[in-house]
Amino acid sequence: MSFFEISMLICFGVSWPISIVKTYTSKQVTGKSPFFLIVVFLGYACGITHKLLFSLDWVIILYAVNALLVMGDFILYCHFVKKEQPKSSCGV
């Protein structure tokens, strides 16, 4: 476990709720990239996998919380993109 790894995850963990609140209150996803959200989620999944296989410690909780926040943001994207463009689908 590294101080810098923990710091990164905490900083990102603070950023995702801000993004989620902004999306939820504005009900607009213009400029938001589902591809970006998926790539970030995969990055957290890789971090979780590394922790499970090589370095299990409590920091895995930070990875999991961040991954859940990104998934929440993606779900909001899917919900609001359908309202913005009725014929579009939620995808990359």
For the entire predicted model, the pTM comes to 0.87
d(C-alpha 7, C-alpha 34), whole Å: 25
Residues 36-79 pLDDT 10s:
999 999 999 999 999 999 999 999 999 999 999 999 999 999 99
| % of residues, the chain, pLDDT over 90 | 85
pLDDT grade for 22, boundaries at 50, 70 and 90: very high
What is the crossing angle of helices 60-84 and 34-53, to 10°? Answer: 160
Q: Where are the domains of the chain?
A: 3-84
Looking at the domain covering 3-84, what would its CATH class be? mainly alpha
Helices (H), the chain: 3-26, 34-53, 60-84
